[in-house]
Amino acid sequence: MKKVTVSVPGKIHLMGEHAVVYGKPALLSAIDLRLSVSIEPSETFEIISSEPTDHAKYAVDFLLDHMKVKKDPLVKITIESEIPAGFHLGSSAAVAVGLSGAMTYFFKNLWNPIRINELAYQIEKKQHGNPSGGDNTTITMGGFIWFRKELEFLKSIWQLPFKPHPSLNHFFLIKTKRPSETTGEMVALVRARYTKEQKKMEALFNRNETQVKRVAVALKEGNEKELLDAIQVGESTLEGMGVVSQIVQSLIREIEKSGGAAKILGGGGVKDGVGFLLCYHHEPKRIAALCKAHEYTTQSIILGEEGIRLEQR
């Protein structure tokens, strides 16, 4: 077979971080930052990656074993990514999905997104222990994904049947500093607070769930006022859980005063940065100026993007 190239999107949590651990829903979206995987015949076996290669090498070995292809075949695998690692944009799951798609097509001439997603989830489980499955599903299927873990053995994952309303195209990522804490440490922090203040935390989780639903409806109907308010209220619940640093909270208040809304993505952080913020605002230059004062950078993104795509065959 000649060269095969597959691309996949990154993903964000629009709303539902942390509360999703306690049975509440989360709303995820594919975004227009993409990762590509190319496979072509070669005289040697090599993996060339803009991402850390340990995860890619594990995924490749897993897939070769699954497909019963001999180890280290004579191919060159090239991974190029616009999705920064370690910032809760799904870089790890993107590698797993991209490799699953490219390798099953290259070696077996099969293209089945459902099966690709299953393989990527197996890779993520081996690599990360107990992932939800939400990230790889969003990256494979694209669009908006509704995720809820009802029980350990019961998870609901649905692709929502709509595209983002064309009027709601003012989303940005704001790159704050990388969190000092890991996602696991932030989950443990929320767990400790839940143990001490169960009623208070459950009230925050319930309020967060309401905002997840409001965001979904606002995106479908193009209701900007509702969207802004839901993001602001949802962020306040995350601050109540104790996962947003004071430094970042001050920037979020400035954004809200200027007519926008912003929230953390992923686990958050306490000491300093929180990784990326998701921001909605009509005036990019105004947001850029606000962020420059904090020495942060901004980047526009598009939500509800296409999932895995066969680019070259």
Question: Does residue 135 have an active-site annotation?
Answer: yes
Tokens of 78: 């090239």
- Beta-carbon contacts of residue 193 (< 8 Å; ≥ 6 apart): 201, 241, 242
Are β-strands 276-280 and 4-15 bridged in parallel, bridged antiparallel, or unpaired? unpaired
**End-to-end Cα distance, the chain:** 8
Active-site residue identified among 32, 135, 229, 272: 135
Q: What residues are labeled active site?
A: 135
